[in-house]
Amino acid sequence: MNNLSVTGTNGGLFAKPTIGRSEYGRVKVALAPGKGFMDWLRLTANKHLAKRITGGVDHDELMKHYTKEDCWVHLFGTVYDVTKYLDFHPGGIPELLRAGGRDATPLFNQYHAWVNYESFLKACVVGPFIGDLSKLPPPLSPTTSDDTNKLGVPSSLGSDYFDGGFGSRVETLEHGISIENDEWTGLSEPNVIVSLTPVSVKTSINTRGEENSEEHARLRVLIHHFWQSAMEFEFESTQRLTQQKYELIVKKNRVEIRFPALENLEDVLNREKCKIRRRPGSSYHSTKIIDLFRLNHDTLVFSLELPEYTTYRIPLGYHVGVKVRKGKGNLYRPYTPISNPTPHRIDLMIKIYPDGICTPSLEKLQIGDDLVISDPIGDKDFTGWTENSSQLILLSAGSGITPMIDLLERRIQKASNSEVYMLMFNKTEEDIQTVTPDGKTWKLGEIWKTFEGDEKIVLRNVLSAPKAEESEYQLHGRITPELLKTIIPTSSESRRAFICGPDGFIVAAKNALDSLNISSDHVHIFKG
């Protein structure tokens, strides 16, 4: 039985959250046994659950399917029958029914923009949408009483706001501000985002009706503590902070921002001028593409420079939302950044799909163009698994390699004498990501050259449709229990594993790890 409490309120449904919240603060409910992520992948593997309509679905037909027994939704030009997925939806059945018989695209961009829906819902495709979107009714109102956070909306919308500050203490210092909360433990710099954003403030209107303005700056501090709800501290804009350099000091439960060139900041940095939000909406940062190169035939690497007055670090395993302009609207897609050795930069490795919705637009970008990314998204701390396990296993397919690169680097830096096994699955030699293009710096390529043949840091490419003969470090085949057993020795000590790739790969990789007697509690799956 699905552990979902549903009661009527003013004719509507309210789903009682019984687990907590997702990485964005999105309300989640407890799913019944057998209705989890892996269960859905197994159910839909190599199957089609929906009745196809080859001629397409118009708005009149779509609007007929809006009940729990028969639920269709429109998503980016395709109609899906999600009836059988309802019980698997982490946000609960009523939340997904909000989009029944309607256009689900706006809700998807708000709550699930990082999800690879084309792969996740491929078994549910009914057919292309051939109707008029303007004639579809909008999605229903939220069904959860405290539904707050949204992806793609300004942080001033859809968040918890409380004058008491949720136990936070904001104190003015001689040269800056301190923010402290007893619930924060073990804060480190990757938990903190600081931005000093230019703001144009209207000051007056002259007799000719022309507006006069001056440049101010708004200080924003985001604390995304592991395993806790994010908290945002946004101060009123002020001219005094414009283009001012600052120092960030992070202690166990305290953050200090100091402006060495400024004094007497009591009038601009104080508790009364600070708006505190818990579970804020995601804010976005405009970065500059300062380098761009082709890693292989269908993969590009973008090197991005962050704004000058922004402190932005990516915790291990976190991803970002990338805002892509598509026609008159914006789409949001998830990518896992790769740390860059140059401060104030991050890299994105993006596979280009010629018929994709977003990546053709990304392929057109050039050096010097802007690319807008969100705050880091995530809530888990992978440091312990990465640094302290006796045996670390990293399994990826295709572009699923991206979160593994920084995990591997951290392992080498902190536990180089312990075992790590990184297996990268691709189709042909053309898809391999371990080769550094001439004249470029590519982290994974440098790691490969340094540790190829190492007995403890074991790196292998595995190809399913190779063109050349098999070698010691370039194997042939697919992920199977037998393959893993030939590479990864049995260990009675602590073992941890990460998986990232397409749905079918995830299922096969999890089954292979089961054969090594690795507990599901010790396996993390990066969901596409």
Mean pLDDT, range 372-378, rounded to an integer: 89
Which residue type, as a one-letter code, is found at position 240?
R
Residue 109: per-residue pLDDT: 66
Residue 504: per-residue pLDDT: 87
pLDDT band at 162 (very low <50, low <70, confident <90, very high): low
Residue 12 has pLDDT above 60, yes or no: no
SS3 assignment, position 39: helix
- Between CA 82 and CA 391 the distance in angstroms is 40
Which residue ranges make up each domain of the chain? 5-135, 160-203+212-278, 284-374, 383-526
Residue 357: per-residue pLDDT: 76
Beta bridge partners of 194: 221, 311
Reported as half-sphere exposure (CB side, CA atoms, 13 A), residue 525 has a value of 21
Residue 147 has pLDDT above 50, yes or no: no
- Between CA 278 and CA 231 the distance in angstroms is 4
What rounded mean pLDDT belongs to the chain?
86
Mean pLDDT, range 211-235, rounded to an integer: 91
Name the region of 380 (left: φ>0; alpha: ψ -120 to 50; beta: rest).
beta
Residue 372 has pLDDT above 50, yes or no: yes
SS3 content of the chain, % helix, strand, coil (to 5): 20, 35, 45
Instruction: Let me know: does 195 contact 322? Beta carbons within 8 Å.
Output: no
All residues at 6 or more sequence positions from 328 whose CB lies less than 8 Å from its CB, including other chains? none
Q: Name which of 107, 124, 128 is nearest 40 in CA terms.
A: 124
Locate 394 and state its tokens.
Answer: 């990293």
Residue 387: per-residue pLDDT: 95
Residue 158: per-residue pLDDT: 41
User: Around Cβ 272, how many Cβ atoms within 10 Å?
Assistant: 6
Q: Environment class of residue 41 by beta-carbon count within 10 Å: exposed (0-12), middle (13-18) or buried (19+)?
A: buried
All residues at 6 or more sequence positions from 438 whose CB lies less than 8 Å from its CB, including other chains? none
Kindly compute the dihedral angle of the four CA atoms of residues 242, 244, 250, 256, in this order, to the nearest 10 degrees: -70
Best mean pLDDT range from 148-162, 414-428, 490-504: 414-428
Mean pLDDT, range 399-428, rounded to an integer: 94
Residue 330 has pLDDT above 90, yes or no: no
Mean pLDDT, range 459-479, rounded to an integer: 93
Which residue type, as a one-letter code, is found at position 102?
R
Residue 28: per-residue pLDDT: 57
Give, for 7, the enclosing helix (H) or strand (E).
strand 5-9
Residue 14 has pLDDT above 70, yes or no: no
Q: Name which of 165, 173, 172, 294 is nearest 231 in CA terms.
A: 165
Locate 114 and state its tokens.
Answer: 């990082």
The 10s digit of each residue's pLDDT in 39-84 is 898 898 888 999 999 888 999 999 999 999 999 999 878 899 999 9
Residue 3 has pLDDT above 60, yes or no: no
Locate 421 and state its tokens.
Answer: 């096994």
Residue 18: per-residue pLDDT: 44
Instruction: Let me know: does 287 contact 306? Beta carbons within 8 Å.
Output: yes
Mean pLDDT, range 326-344, rounded to an integer: 81
- Between CA 405 and CA 362 the distance in angstroms is 22
Instruction: Let me know: does 62 contact 129? Beta carbons within 8 Å.
Output: yes
Q: How far is CA 122 from the centre of its chain?
A: 21
Q: 5 or 520: whose pLDDT is higher? A: 520
Q: Name which of 416, 366, 351, 350 is nearest 387 in CA terms.
A: 416
Pairing of strands 211-223, 160-161: unpaired
SS3 assignment, position 73: strand
Residue 21 has pLDDT above 60, yes or no: no
Mean pLDDT, range 100-124, rounded to an integer: 79
Q: Name which of 67, 69, 71, 91 is nearest 16 in CA terms.
A: 91
Q: Could you tell me the strand order of the sheet in which 419-426 lies?
A: 474-476, 457-463, 419-426, 391-397, 495-500, 523-526
Residue 55 to residues 59, 82, 167: CA-CA distances in angstroms?
Answer: 13, 19, 57
- Between CA 42 and CA 284 the distance in angstroms is 36
Mean pLDDT, range 375-385, rounded to an integer: 90
The 10s digit of each residue's pLDDT in 271-317 is 999 999 988 877 899 999 999 999 999 999 999 999 999 999 999 99
Q: State the CATH class of domain 5-135.
A: alpha beta
- Between CA 396 and CA 336 the distance in angstroms is 13
Mean pLDDT, range 355-366, rounded to an integer: 89
Domain 383-526 has CATH 3.40.50.80: yes
- What's the CATH superfamily of 284-374? Translation factors (2.40.30.10)
The 10s digit of each residue's pLDDT in 239-277 is 999 999 999 999 999 999 999 999 999 999 999 999 999
Residue 118 has pLDDT above 80, yes or no: no
